[in-house]
Amino acid sequence: MRCIFVCLLLAAVTHASAAEQVSFKDLSRHELYKDVKISPDGEYIAATAIVRDKTVLSLIHLSDMKGANLRPQDRDDVVDFWWVGPRRVVFSITQRIFGLDGAFANGELYAIDADGGNKSVVYSWRHSQGFDGFATVAGRLAESGKLLVEVAQWGRCDHDHGPFPTARALDATGSMTVLATAPICGASFVADNRGTVRFAYAEDEDQALKVFYRDTESDAWKLLFDEAKTHVRYVPQRFNRDETKVYFACPGQNGVGGICLWDTKAGEMKPLWSGVESGPEELLPTFDRRDAYAVGSLPGRPALSLIDKTAAEAKLLAGLMQEFPGQYVWLGDHSADGKKVIVHVASDTNPGEFYLYDATSHKLSFLLASMPWIKPEQMAMQEPVSLKARDGTALHGYLTRANGAAKNAKVPLVVYVHGGPYEIRDRWQFDSYVQAMATRGYAVLQVNFRGSGGYGDAFVKAGIREWGGKMQDDITDATHWAIDQGIADPQRICIFGGSYGGYAALEGVVKEPDLYKCAIGYVGVYDLRLMYAHGDIPRTRFGKNYLKMAIGEDKQELKDRSPVSHADKIKAKVMLITGGADDRVPDDHAKAMRSELRSQGTEPEWIYDRSEGHGFYKEEHVAELFEKLVAFLDRNIGATAAASAAAAK
């Protein structure tokens, strides 16, 4: 740290003093609290909390803020949770599968009382006889307060014979009642306000969405929308209050995404809300869960569009937003009578805070902070940007300016590429990786290249089969935009990304050898041919079909678009970061890339941990990663590089 700070001074860049600068240790710490929900009677809150690298369920009595932590056994972690009665919580777990893609539930459900007692198994293929499937909580049934659970049976699902998923109602006793059986594999369900399951939808093996509908529980399923035939994607969301219409996610009038209303009697679909730059992020439900009152979107910073301006929820939210200018405020879980509401506040510099609003006293009280050790005033601010790609396609992203740099100064730039790549997008939010770089003197540019989510189905499809093609060109065009805008010093630019972003980082220095001085590949894909042979994606028919859709099957094309095939074109300095327990992108990719670089006489910097998966998780490992990453940037585009260049003159 001392070396980095001295070198920044040598480069004549003004920063906060070392004492004021956030430490890598603090940036690498897990969120203390991730989600908070209140009991139906308003007496308790439950929260997911991380204690010594383990996600537990915290149960807290609001009267004294005391309670207990439920620690799952062995390597299990809590993923999500739901109140199913005044004093009963259902929760799902994961078997420590972490990384850039987050934690995924393993299909088991458990329950516990608010006081920490009476733990029981609701659905578990490990601990119970007769359970041979995967259970997922899809939401709450409005009238009964029961949970809607989707259960998919183990084994290969045949689209002609099943076994097909079932929708079930889960009550506070842990009893589940089958409500419907889907007509398609991998289905999700939507129920009306009375609890009748009336929609089942899923992507078929052709990756096209099929939506089935029925009027009553005794009716047969009918195919309502087939994306393969209409080339339009309609996704059911929820019913309106009198159940005469259904909210659907749809393309909208501008093609970037919208919300439509489908008439259950006339069968007509009409636009209700259409995005201008981006589509809907969420449809906000009323407190009684019988209708919706607003659409949340993310054109740049989060935005809210009211579809029912008279709703009490809309008026409450409008008042709360005035209390937190410059931040995003949304209404979370609430008591059954709607008189106590969890309020979540966050921004690009605030990882998140939870408050309790009491409608009776009109009082807003602080509850918990996600990362209370983070000081927003020390963080770098993120601003939305927009530009045009070379073919005229509108692109959007975010620029985080280097802390302490003069507004018009050209600074070293890191082009930070998100993973996925499809349906994933960069957001206006706190990001520890971005802050690790921006608080050390680097501007960070993130671009939602075609294929990214949030800008309509056509924008996603425009990225299909464009690995190393137009998706890469979008990233290149964004880099040139930053140069043309006077943001970036053209001689001091690095490209960095994880998963698909790791691919884009190495492909970037293959295709643009003179644009980037360095590249950082983090658990990245470097040989597209290996995607069909290694990792968890090709193990299922759906995964194989996904690969055929996303990258194609032409072996020569896959070779040509793989960075591992073009190590001889790379001039930039390279850092490779990988984990030995990565099941999504096995370390074979990084090892092959390192071998090819070595064959060209280049030794990449190498960060490897055999215990880490698809993205480092342990706090000490992430802190060390930040140290090495920033030191690598310093040597190649930052203070150390500038000092060396000055000395050479």
* Residue 520: strand pairing partners: 496, 575
Query: So what's the pLDDT on residue 96?
Result: 67
Task: Report how far residue 506's alpha carbon sits from residue 518's, in angstroms, rounded to the nearest whole number.
Answer: 9
Dihedral (Cα; 91, 95, 99, 100), 10-degree rounding:
-40
Hey, is 332 helix, strand or coil? strand
Q: What is the mean pLDDT of residues 353-362?
A: 95
pLDDT over threshold 90, residue 253: yes
The 10s digit of each residue's pLDDT in 261-291 is: 999 999 999 999 999 999 999 999 999 999 9
pLDDT over threshold 50, residue 1: no
Query: So what's the pLDDT on residue 646?
Result: 67
Query: So what's the pLDDT on residue 457?
Result: 93
The 10s digit of each residue's pLDDT in 142-159 is: 878 899 999 998 777 777
Provide the edge-to-edge strand list for the sheet that holds 353-358.
328-334, 340-346, 353-358, 363-369
Q: What is the mean pLDDT of residues 601-607?
A: 96
Neighbours of 545 (CB within 10 A): 15
The 10s digit of each residue's pLDDT in 4-44 is: 222 322 333 333 444 489 999 999 999 999 999 999 999 99
- What's the predicted TM-score (pTM) here? 0.91
Q: How many CA atoms lie within 13 A of 320 on its CB side?
A: 29
With contact defined as beta carbons under 8 Å apart, do 536 and 584 qualify?
A: yes
Tokens at 159, concatenated: 């689209």
With contact defined as beta carbons under 8 Å apart, do 169 and 148 qualify?
A: yes
User: Could you tell me the CATH superfamily of domain 2-26+375-648?
Assistant: Alpha/Beta hydrolase fold, catalytic domain (3.40.50.1820)
Task: Report how far residue 524's alpha carbon sits from residue 592's, in angstroms, rounded to the nearest whole number.
Answer: 11
Q: How many CA atoms lie within 13 A of 52 on its CB side?
A: 3
With contact defined as beta carbons under 8 Å apart, do 105 and 93 qualify?
A: yes
With contact defined as beta carbons under 8 Å apart, do 485 and 541 qualify?
A: no
Return the residue matching tokens 């589509």: 279
Query: So what's the pLDDT on residue 5?
Result: 27
Residue with the larger pLDDT of the pair 162 and 362: 362
Task: Report how far residue 251's alpha carbon sits from residue 253's, in angstroms, rounded to the nearest whole number.
Answer: 7
Phi, psi of 192 (to 5 degrees): -80, -175
Query: So what's the pLDDT on residue 648?
Result: 65
* Residue 447: strand pairing partners: 397
The 10s digit of each residue's pLDDT in 492-537 is: 999 999 999 999 999 999 999 999 999 999 999 999 999 999 988 9
Mean pLDDT across the chain: 91
Query: So what's the pLDDT on residue 6?
Result: 28
Query: So what's the pLDDT on residue 171?
Result: 93
Query: So what's the pLDDT on residue 98?
Result: 62
With contact defined as beta carbons under 8 Å apart, do 496 and 517 qualify?
A: no
pLDDT over threshold 90, residue 644: no
Confidence label for 160 from pLDDT (cuts 50, 70 and 90): confident
The 10s digit of each residue's pLDDT in 182-225 is: 999 999 999 999 999 999 999 987 889 999 999 999 999 999 99
Q: How far apart are the first and last CA of the chain?
A: 26
Q: How many CA atoms lie within 13 A of 177 on its CB side?
A: 12
Provide the edge-to-edge strand list for the sheet that holds 133-140.
133-140, 147-153, 166-170, 176-181
Residue 575 burial (CB < 10 Å; 0-12/13-18/19+)? buried
Query: So what's the pLDDT on residue 129?
Result: 66
Return the residue matching tokens 């080339």: 231
Task: Report how far residue 629's alpha carbon sits from residue 138's, in angstroms, rounded to the nearest whole number.
Answer: 39
The full set of domain ranges for the chain reads 2-26+375-648, 32-212+306-369, 234-305
The 10s digit of each residue's pLDDT in 321-344 is: 999 999 999 999 999 999 999 999
